[in-house]
Amino acid sequence: MGYTIAEKILLAHTDKKAIRPGEFIEADIDLALGNDITAPFAIEQFKKSGTRQVFDRNKIVLVPDHFAPAKDLRSANQCKILSDFAREQKIKNYFEVGCMGIEHALLPELGLVLPGDLVIGADSHTCTYGALGAYSTGVGSTDLARAFIDGKCWFKVPGSVKFIYQGKLKKWVGGKDLILFTIGKIGVDGALYKAMEFSGPVIRSLSMDDRFSMSNMAIEAGARAGIIEPDATTKEYVSKFKRKPKFYKSDSDAKYDKIYEWDVTDLEPQVACPHLPSNVKPVSSLKDVKLDQVVIGSCTNGRISDLRASAKILKGKKIKYGLKLIVIPATQKIYLAAVKEGLAEIFVKAGGIFSTPTCGPCLGGHMGILTEGEVALATTNRNFIGRMGSVKSFVYLSNPAVAAASAITGRITHPKEIK
């Protein structure tokens, strides 16, 4: 019997000759990631273990991005734990606010994750890197602490679910819409503890940015990973990095728990309604939903192509009076590109604000907290009750073009309506 891409990567990081879904394995990891929320506890447990040195200072990444720049004293203390530990351990990949970015956009941008890698991160959206053909998954802080010690982690080998997308996407429809559509079809537990494998001609036509958006939200269907087989687009993306990638693909006789196949030619932009990412409706059915705030950014949709799409719609326009528009590029490199291309100016002239990289509003941390009764449309990945602030607020999720169009009208709007 053949192996899926997920099984091949996991097997390659063990000393085993064979593995099977449901089996528990101990594997060597290529990278261990922590942020300002999760890493401090991992560091505490590392120190309690009595271990003096991390297993490899080049294979640990620390990124203060959730409450950074520090929003209060407690946040500052969390960030300081990271900086002190990085200094003590001489950790190469520690990223202070001036050079950091939202972790799941930053690591691929720097080539810290490549195809074939096995990556853990104490953050659920670590599954983002599956877009490159890596096996990356979220873990708890104690698992991260263990990896700091010896570079290993326990995994339960997941079964795989294959998704095949046929047809050709319409204008203003991309990776975010595909993953929202998918979650809407299978539910938030439709791929519980599985590896989602995205394939088909539509996937092969997607840019890397769109692929990152899809893999990023695999966790919202309960999956451990969201993987795309490397192709020419992947190889071009990683060609500029020095470290050599390993390209894996599923065998023709690989076994899948389920296989879904859809023709998405007629798919219109999708919107996830409160209070679940699976409560998905086409944008045209939500035109009466009025908004108080629009957020464009996050590890899901804060890349340069996302900002370009938003700016194209907002150029020469003004946002609805009384609405708050917050635009957050995912990394400093993207920030600079947006400034050089004039995108930042478009956002500001439209009446929005343009922020330094941060996860801030996505998790209800800072930079856009919602109060009781407020309604937001965001390009983020979760819309649970209280996710962005008050438990009596409401969050809708969309792609960046829909978000920009909606900021102009003050209601959820299809981009084609903006002339």
Do 295 and 405 have their domain in common? yes
394 and 349 co-located in one domain: yes
**Domains identified in the chain, total number:** 2
Q: What is the mean pLDDT of residues 10-19?
A: 97
Q: With a cut of 80, say whether residue 268 has pLDDT above it.
A: yes
Q: What is the pLDDT of residue 130?
A: 98
Q: What pTM value is reported for the model? A: 0.95
What pLDDT is stored for residue 387 in this prediction? Answer: 95
Residues 45 and 190 in one domain: yes
Given a cut of 80, whether residue 37 has pLDDT beyond it is yes
Residue 187 reports pLDDT greater than 90: yes
Residue 308 in any domain: the answer is: yes
Report pLDDT for 181.
98
Whether residue 96 sits in one domain with residue 60: yes
- Name the CA dihedral angle for 363, 108, 134, 277, rounded to a multiple of 10 degrees: 30
Residue 94's pLDDT is 97
Residue 229 in any domain: the answer is: yes
Mean pLDDT of the 191-201 span: 97
Tell me the two tokens of residue 117: 């890698």
Whether residues 86 and 179 share a domain: the answer is yes
User: Is residue 378 pLDDT above 90, yes or no?
Assistant: yes
Can you tell me which residue has the tokens 């990271």? 82
Instruction: Supply the DSSP symbol for 227.
Output: E
Outline where DSSP puts E strands in 109-148: 118-121, 135-138
User: CB of 132 within 8 A of CB of 238?
Assistant: yes
pLDDT confidence of residue 18: 96
Whether residues 28 and 167 share a domain: the answer is yes
The CATH number covering residue 328 comes to: 3.30.499.10
What is the secondary structure of 242-280 as a DSSP string? Answer: SSPP------TTB--SEEEEEE-TTPPPEEEPTT-TT-E
Q: Which residues contact 84 (CB under 8 A, 6 or more apart)?
A: none
Q: Residue 151: what pLDDT?
A: 98
Asked if residue 249 is part of any domain, the answer here is no
- Residue 8 predicted with pLDDT over 90: yes
User: Mean pLDDT for the chain?
Assistant: 97
- Residue-wise pLDDT tens digits, 350-375: 999 999 999 999 999 899 999 999 99
- Between CA 24 and CA 304 the distance in angstroms is 39
Of the candidates 216, 191, 24, 37, the one whose C-alpha atom is nearest the C-alpha of residue 124 is 216
Split at pLDDT 50, 70, 90, the class of 10 is: very high
Whole-angstrom distance, CA of residue 135 vs CA of residue 111: 15
| Residue 389 predicted with pLDDT over 80 | yes
Residue among 418, 409, 174, 210 at smallest CA distance from 315: 418
At 132-175, the pLDDT tens digits run 999 999 999 999 999 999 999 999 999 999 999 999 999 999 99
Torsion (CA) 396, 301, 307, 71 in degrees, nearest 10 = 80
Closest listed residue to residue 172, CA positions, set 8, 310, 377, 346:
310
How far apart, in whole angstroms, are the C-alpha atoms of residue 226 and residue 191?
10
Note whether residue 307 is domain-resident.
Answer: yes
Tokens of 306: 């996302």
Same domain, 108 and 33: yes
Quote the percentage of the chain above a pLDDT of 70. Answer: 100
Residues comprising the chain, all counted:
419
Q: Kindly state whether residues 235 and 98 are assigned to the same domain.
A: yes
Encoded tokens for 214: 């899809």
Question: Could you report the per-residue pLDDT of 298-333, keeping only the tens digit for each?
Answer: 999 999 999 999 999 999 999 999 999 999 999 999
Strands, DSSP E only, in 339-411?
A: 353-354, 375-378, 394-397
Same domain for 236 and 276, yes or no, is: no
Overall average pLDDT of the 222-244 stretch: 97
> 59 pLDDT exceeds 90?
yes
Q: What is the mean pLDDT of residues 26-34?
A: 98
Same domain, 93 and 188: yes
pLDDT at 259: 98
Residues 301, 203 within the same domain: no
The pLDDT of residue 390 is 94
Q: Could you tell me if residue 102 is inside a domain?
A: yes
Q: Is residue 228 part of a domain?
A: yes
Please state, in angstroms and rounded to a whole number, the distance separating the CA atoms of residues 144 and 60.
10
Residue 17 neighbours by CB under 8 Å, 6+ apart: none
Q: Is residue 391 part of a domain?
A: yes
Structural domain boundaries, residue 86: 5-15+24-244+257-262
Query: CA 139 to CA 78: how far, in whole Å?
Result: 19
Does residue 206 carry a pLDDT above 80? yes
Give 276's pLDDT tier (boundaries 50, 70, 90): very high
Q: Which two tokens stand for residue 213?
A: 């958006």
Across 338-346, average pLDDT? 98
Query: Helix, strand or coil for residue 273?
Result: coil
**Tokens describing residue 379:** 């390009």
- Band of residue 100 on the pLDDT scale cut at 50, 70, 90: confident
Q: Which residues pair with residue 281 across a beta bridge?
A: 271
Residue 299 is predicted with a pLDDT of: 95
pLDDT score recorded for residue 107: 97
Say what the pLDDT of residue 129 is. Answer: 98
| Whether residues 216 and 283 fall in one domain | no
Q: What is the pLDDT of residue 16?
A: 96
Domain presence at residue 251: no
3-class state of residue 327 by DSSP = strand
